[in-house]
A and B are shown apart, each in its own frame.
Chain A
Amino acid sequence: MCRAAFKTWRTFDTSLTAELFQLMRLTVNDRVHDVAPRDDETLLELLRDRLALTGTKLTCDRGECGACTVLLDGATAYSCLTLAVSCDGATVRTVEGLAPPGSLSTLQQAFIAHDAAQCGYCTPGQLVAAQALLDHSAHPTDDEIRAAMSGNLCRCGTYPKIVQAIRAAAEAGAGVGPSAASTADGAPHGA
């Protein structure tokens, strides 16, 4: 499956034809969806605009901030740089799917306990990236945390508390890893 991440915005193409759409199936947060995205549509647009999963945020639209981070087949991906049509058959997890509705994952609880969300805009991406880290490294060192999380920007400066939260979540057993689908370095796809 092609996961090439490339920038498509500012497309000047006006020749809208049927070939611009492709019917495809993907699984998002354990639900199966049939969708027909445009060929220039990103996974982020698909999630937010078609599936109303607005937890995943748009901040830079070009792979610089990590706010749009999702798990794509178990590995982190910048959904703003991932073409929706490349996700045919894929399994996607977003912040909304980190825990069953009405409950909180260990990591989410740790974020709350350690005040790791200020404005909260970067938080969905931070949580997804942190969960991916814990999935492949159950007890990451601080240096591993820093390396894995430095693709997720936060302007409010929650970094020290995110580190604390990840440590606490790891101690509480939030990491089940290593899981086969994780990337080697935990860095977001396309970073």
Chain B
Amino acid sequence: MARKPKPTKGGFVQTIVEVEGRTETRTVELPAFEPTPWTDDVELHIVGTSATRVDASEKVTGRARYTADIERPGMLHAYILRAPIPRGTIRSVDAAAARAMPGVVAIMGPGDAPSKTRLLGNDITYAGQPVAVVCASSVREARNAAHAMVVAYDAAPFAVTFKAAVAPDAPKVRAAGNVNPKSPLVIARGDVAAGLAAADVVVTGEYRTPVALHTALEPHGAVCEWDGDRLTIWESTQGIFRVRADAARILELPLSKVRVIKDYMGGGFGAKNGAGAHTILAALLAKQTGRAVRCINDREAEQIDSGNRPASVQRVTIGAKKNGTLTAIQMVGDIPLGISGWEGGPAQIYHELYACPNVRTEETFAYINTSGMQAFRGPGYVEGAFGLEGAMNALARKLNMDPLALRKKNFAKKDPRQNRPFSGNALLECYEKGAAAFGWDGAQAKALSVVDRERLTANHVPTTRRSSTSKRRGVGLAAQVWPTGGGPPSYATVRINADASIDVLAGTQDLGTGSRTVLAQIAAEAIGAKLTDVRAIIGDTQSLPYAGNSWGSMTTPSVGPAVRMAAEDAQRQLFEAAATMLDTTPDTLEARDSRIVVRDTDRTMTFAEVTKNLGNVMISGSGSRGPNPAGVAINTFGVQFAEVEVDVDTGLVTVLRIVAVHDAGRIINPALAESQMQGGILQGVGYALYEERIVDERLGVVLNPSMHEYKIPTMADVPVITVLWAGGSDTAANHTGARGIAEPPIIPTAPAIAAAVADAIGAEVPQIPLTPWRVLAAITGTR
């Protein structure tokens, strides 16, 4: 019965996978068969519909269980005490008072964690670093006891800015040196000097972006429990298998003895990609106490030490011919990473967005005495877009050219970096559609009269937000590219139960993006079932086949094809069984709404009738994600147009509306995709206008580690957002035709808003967030 499909291919091949701008070569097994591509002319019934989120009712009733809601018998709570200074050594710890406090069960201080954990050492390298952890019956007792500990420090000089870290006499932030060993990281094509010499017009600018904090509503956290030598971890994570690997490595356990579970999580945005100090300390305390231990960051810890988007300074030079043709792009960047991090700098987008023969970027990454960076939605590209698109808009002004025309002129027909064809690229369509929807008039934006703008926006903007005398309107745009091909390895199983209900099993996770729903839709479509008959089971390393982290906008294009293949495999088996019952051959059968029909006849059977006949015969289909096409660039593209109002008396910027048009291939669920767009754009609004982690340079501590002082947009800050799609099914990327969409929307928002502000006030503000002070300084020319 459960005969596997005959392999049409076989063996292992190498394939290239791009993760957040980094390219990896992976060896993968070829899938046993490759489903027929869902091209645009294939009629689909469930994929492409705005099905409601399959877990929505859990979320609106409070039944959805997040990590902090996990309660285990006898569970204890851990609270981490953190260093108040950025650099130094711990001289002494007096925990006597803490130990005597009610509810306290265990305390771990400096030197108490195995060296392999690299936790609770004596050396302090950033403010917020874990120093000790208290385990007690309640969080409050643990926290009170932690703050009753007396820790004496020998403070040492520190560096919390790029400049301080690279100074000749700088304190040693890291023993091996303050500059990351790959620095300066140079990526170049052509000859920038020659390109600049050939330019008619050259613009230069220095663009600055802030440290931004993920600020997910659910903080990082884990619950750890041992059963003999087996460890179970409930963790709010974007990567259950990566948490498993981290925990197994650090705690020296075989992978098979670590189980990681993630059911619901309250956002990640890149900061929840592995096991953290909270995970490992909870596991150690759980071992020591013989009880389950829950350790959840409080908000201050979350804002100080759970990752951030690093700041950047980008010195940009762009040369162009009079007609706008780019001759050279150069960017020299300084990026302070924090105490740790990878080279996720702003460079990539400079090489990928425009056709330009001569491009050179040089990035220097410095370690500083602040918490380490982590990927944050569109890492590097978000920062880079502000510099590149800012300079492109400055170039358009200098050329007296429509910034949209400038972009069209330099549209890259092929991946300009590696000269590969794109799997699909509808950026020109994005430009056209966006301009039409926004009312971009084709000329230099400044040429629009105030009256025209009123007319254009009257239908879109709430009446209370119309201009008054001190207010000026402006419009601007920016474009985006982001690698979203996804790739292997990723596996799925689709089971048809005896009552014809269907389980989709995939070891991926839903961050709030909607992957549970999207995968259920893909499976229902592929197998021919009603969506309500399909349940996606995700987030458990013990019982589910491997999937990678939900990062890099990869989940839909990576796991989706595996789920589709598994569903088709299950359908094939179901059809074989049904064919004997219907006295026909499987190739005459088709399925829809959980019903099998013999083509061109009125003979039919429901899935349930077939499975009832089969009894407990288990139909189980397996699928895997095949390799990526060789020599093809797979990207999501897009453009955003912004209109703002600037109060020239106060410098206050209000974003009135954003029109976003992106090409992400096939859209599996338009409503959920629109939600992703709105979310990314709103984070972009925050990045443009409000968000900035402030570190005191004299004390080396974060000054705004709260949601009041680190401002994210509220409902009152929301512009009118129009989301449109361009392009169509991208079956050159994978057989579902879908690329990723989670990260692209945040990339062009800030530069589009900055361009609109420049248009409104007649001066560029090359530093975000565009605070009233910075805007006023630009208006008065006193920056």
The interface bits of chain A over 64-98 (1 if a CB of B lies within 8 angstroms of the residue's CB, else 0) are 11010000000000000000000000000011101
Q: Indicate whether B118 reaches chain A with its CB closer than 8 angstroms.
A: no
Secondary structure class of chain B's binding surface, majority of residues? loop
In the complex, what residue of chain B is closest to A41 when comparing beta carbons? B140
Query: What is the interface size of chain B, counting residues whose CB is below 8 A from a CB of the partner?
Result: 68
Q: Indicate whether B147 reaches chain A with its CB closer than 8 angstroms.
A: yes
Assess the B708–A157 pair: CB atoms within 8 A: no
In the complex, A127 Cα to B59 Cα: how many Å?
10
Q: Indicate whether B459 reaches chain A with its CB closer than 8 angstroms.
A: no
In the complex, A177 Cα to B39 Cα: how many Å?
51
Q: Indicate whether B512 reaches chain A with its CB closer than 8 angstroms.
A: yes
Assess the A120–B61 pair: CB atoms within 8 A: no
The interface bits of chain A over 13-36 (1 if a CB of B lies within 8 angstroms of the residue's CB, else 0) are 110100000000000000000000
Q: Which chain B residues lie closer than 8 Å to A53 at the CB level?
A: 62
In the complex, what residue of chain B is closest to A129 when comparing beta carbons? B715
Assess the B62–A96 pair: CB atoms within 8 A: yes
A57-B218 contact in complex given A155-B269, A159-B718, C-beta closer than 8 Å: yes
Assess the B62–A56 pair: CB atoms within 8 A: yes
- Ordered nearest first, which 3 A-B pairs have the shortest CB separation? A55-B62, A119-B512, A121-B266
Q: Indicate whether B479 reaches chain A with its CB closer than 8 angstroms.
A: no
Assess the B140–A45 pair: CB atoms within 8 A: yes
In angstroms, how far is the closest chain B Cβ from the Cβ of A190? 13
In the complex, what residue of chain A is closest to B77 when comparing beta carbons? A49
Q: Which chain B residues lie closer than 8 Å to A12 at the CB level?
A: 144, 147-148
User: Per a CB cutoff under 8 Å, which of A57, A118, A123 touches B513?
Assistant: A118
User: Per a CB cutoff under 8 Å, which of A52, A122, A149 touches B217?
Assistant: A122
In angstroms, how far is the closest chain A Cβ from the Cβ of B461? 11
List B residues 109-168 near A (Cβ within 8 Å). 138, 140, 143-144, 147-148
In the complex, what residue of chain A is closest to B148 when comparing beta carbons? A12
Assess the B59–A117 pair: CB atoms within 8 A: yes
A59-B138 contact in complex given A9-B143, A12-B144, C-beta closer than 8 Å: no
In the complex, A72 Cα to B61 Cα: how many Å?
18
User: Per a CB cutoff under 8 Å, which of B60, B101, B143, B267 touches A108?
Assistant: B60
Assess the B299–A120 pair: CB atoms within 8 A: no
Assess the B675–A104 pair: CB atoms within 8 A: no
In angstroms, how far is the closest chain B Cβ from the Cβ of A51? 12
List A residues 151-183 near B (Cβ within 8 Å). 151-163
Assess the A117–B62 pair: CB atoms within 8 A: no
Q: Indicate whether A185 reaches chain B with its CB closer than 8 angstroms.
A: no
Q: Indicate whether B679 reaches chain A with its CB closer than 8 angstroms.
A: yes
Assess the B678–A161 pair: CB atoms within 8 A: yes
Which of A45, A98, A123, A156 counts the most B-chain CB atoms under 10 A from its CB? A156
In angstroms, how far is the closest chain B Cβ from the Cβ of A176? 19
**A interface residue numbers (CB < 8 A to B):** 9-14, 16, 38, 40-41, 45, 48-49, 52-62, 64-65, 67, 94-96, 98-99, 104, 108, 111-113, 115, 117-124, 127, 142-143, 145-147, 149-163
In the complex, A123 Cα to B60 Cα: how many Å?
6
Q: Which chain A residues lie closer than 8 Å to B298 at the CB level?
A: 61
Assess the A59–B299 pair: CB atoms within 8 A: yes
Q: Which chain B residues lie closer than 8 Å to A158 at the CB level?
A: 675, 678-679
Assess the A153–B708 pair: CB atoms within 8 A: no
Q: Indicate whether B71 reaches chain A with its CB closer than 8 angstroms.
A: yes
Assess the A112–B56 pair: CB atoms within 8 A: yes
Q: Which chain A residues lie closer than 8 Å to B676 at the CB level?
A: 118
User: What are 16 A-B pairs with beta-carbon distances under 8 A?
Assistant: A10-B147, A12-B148, A60-B299, A95-B61, A108-B60, A112-B56, A117-B59, A119-B267, A120-B512, A143-B462, A146-B718, A152-B715, A153-B707, A155-B215, A161-B675, A163-B718
Assess the B266–A60 pair: CB atoms within 8 A: no
Q: Which chain B residues lie closer than 8 Å to A48 at the CB level?
A: 69
In angstroms, how far is the closest chain A Cβ from the Cβ of B539? 13
Assess the B299–A61 pair: CB atoms within 8 A: yes
Q: Indicate whether B63 reaches chain A with its CB closer than 8 angstroms.
A: yes
Q: Which chain B residues lie closer than 8 Å to A146 at the CB level?
A: 715-716, 718
Assess the B266–A57 pair: CB atoms within 8 A: yes
A115-B148 contact in complex given A40-B140, A96-B62, C-beta closer than 8 Å: no
In angstroms, how far is the closest chain A Cβ from the Cβ of B590? 31
Which of B62, B97, B143, B219 counts the most A-chain CB atoms under 10 A from its CB? B62
Assess the A111–B269 pair: CB atoms within 8 A: no
In the complex, A171 Cα to B235 Cα: how many Å?
40
In the complex, A123 Cα to B676 Cα: how many Å?
16
In the complex, A116 Cα to B716 Cα: how many Å?
16
User: Per a CB cutoff under 8 Å, which of B50, B147, B217 touches A153?
Assistant: B217
A64-B707 contact in complex given A53-B62, A115-B671, C-beta closer than 8 Å: yes
User: Per a CB cutoff under 8 Å, which of B148, B217, B672, B680 touches A121?
Assistant: B217
Assess the A119–B462 pair: CB atoms within 8 A: no
In the complex, what residue of chain B is closest to A54 when comparing beta carbons? B69
List B residues 703-739 near A (Cβ within 8 Å). 706-708, 712-716, 718, 721
In angstroms, how far is the closest chain B Cβ from the Cβ of A156? 5
Assess the A108–B61 pair: CB atoms within 8 A: yes
In the complex, A64 Cα to B57 Cα: how many Å?
26
The interface bits of chain B over 54-81 (1 if a CB of A lies within 8 angstroms of the residue's CB, else 0) are 0111111111111011010000000000
Assess the A59–B60 pair: CB atoms within 8 A: no
In the complex, what residue of chain B is closest to A112 when comparing beta carbons? B56
Q: Which chain B residues lie closer than 8 Å to A60 at the CB level?
A: 299, 706-708
In the complex, A45 Cα to B143 Cα: how many Å?
14
In the complex, A112 Cα to B216 Cα: how many Å?
21
Assess the B217–A54 pair: CB atoms within 8 A: no
In the complex, what residue of chain B is closest to A65 when comparing beta carbons? B707
